[in-house]
Structure 1
Amino acid sequence: MIGLLSTTFGVSVASALLPLISVELFAVGLVLKEPDIPWWVLALVIATGQIGGKLLHFYAARGNIRLPAFMRREKEEKPATKGRWKSWLEQFRENCRTRPVWAGTVLLISAAASLPPFAAVAIIAGWAKVPVSTFLITGFIGRFARFGVLAAAPAAMAAWL
């Protein structure tokens, strides 16, 4: 069981870093293959791996992790225009600063439902300087809830039918 949980942790970190990897599909397959793994253990391992991976995105957006040159944006010489997207990001940053409960709620909903996508919200939260504790707590709770429901669903469906 330790080997399966280690693999699950690795897949969850990888899926947090590379959106093409689906930890949801992996988790459902694992639960169907190994129904003896407690749902909460699986949810705990996946949530921990997901938050660990997303934390790298969070810190990179914050500027604490230096990205390789090919991933960095070149400095523009022309004055930047303030488009709709940039205005929205600035408003989001201001809301995060002045309304911490709002920021935590957005993070929690995104982590649990992935609407808006948690990968994007993790990056924007880092850029908006959301406190690390808020990101970790709300992100972990949301991810644990998401994957707890996913891990418990096959057994619940089997018992219900």
Structure 2
Amino acid sequence: MSSLAEAVVALGYGLASALVPIVNTEAYAVVAGHRGGHALIAVLALGLGQTAGKLLLFEAARHGTGRLAQKLAQRNRSGRAAARAARWAEPIRRWLSRRRTALPTVLVSATLGVPPLAVVSVAAGTAGLRRWEFAGSCLLGRLIRFALLALPGALA
């Protein structure tokens, strides 16, 4: 596959995986590393696609009222699942509202996946974090994550 085609496919895959949880970007990064050749391009495109998708969640939370999401959550969650989601959301919102902990929280979430980046993206949008700060931290964390996943295959 050419460099341009690899970039386009990886960008689209990253965007899709940011919005649809069953699409696994980590697996794509591992496979791209084992294929060699354009692993660096794939890592960059995956990071950009993931960041673009998380920015969509961020902006939706920032500008949306959240009524639809609340109704869907009430309809689809059991009491235990709702309690578990609330346990995640409140501390994250608190961390993201403080200037000194907001960017490290996004960076750790984007790099390690804990707390979940989708939750952090929505919480960051509601907490008033600046768009460019969120995007920069998210992109850096995603690039680190995907590079670490692709590296062993690329070196083999």
TM-score normalized with structure 2 length: 0.78
Structure 1: unaligned runs, 5 residues or longer: 75-82
Choose between structure 1 and 2: higher helix proportion: 2
- The one-letter code matched in structure 1 to 2:139 is F
Query: Could you tell me which residue of structure 1 aligns to residue 19 of structure 2?
Result: 17
Size of the alignment, in residue pairs? 143
Name which one, 1 or 2, has greater alpha-carbon Rg. 1
Is it true that 1:37 corresponds to 2:38 in the alignment? Answer: yes
Letter in 2 for 1:42: A
Q: Distance in 2 between matches of 1:84 and 1:110?
A: 18
Q: Which runs of 5+ in 2 are unaligned?
A: 72-82
* Pair 1:52 & 2:59 matched: no
Aligned to 2:131: 132
User: What are the residue-to-residue correspondences of 1:81-160 with 2, within 5 Å?
Assistant: 89=89, 92-97=92-97, 99-156=98-155, 158=156
Deviation beyond 6 Å, 4+ runs, structure 1: none
Q: Give the distance between the partners of 1:88 and 1:23, measured in 2 at CA.
A: 23
Structure 1 position 61 matched with structure 2 position 56: no
Match of 1:78 in 2: none
In 2, the alpha carbon distance for the partners of 1:88 and 1:38 equals 34
**1:37, CA displacement in angstroms?**
1.2
* Shift of residue 153, structure 1, vs aligned partner: 1.9
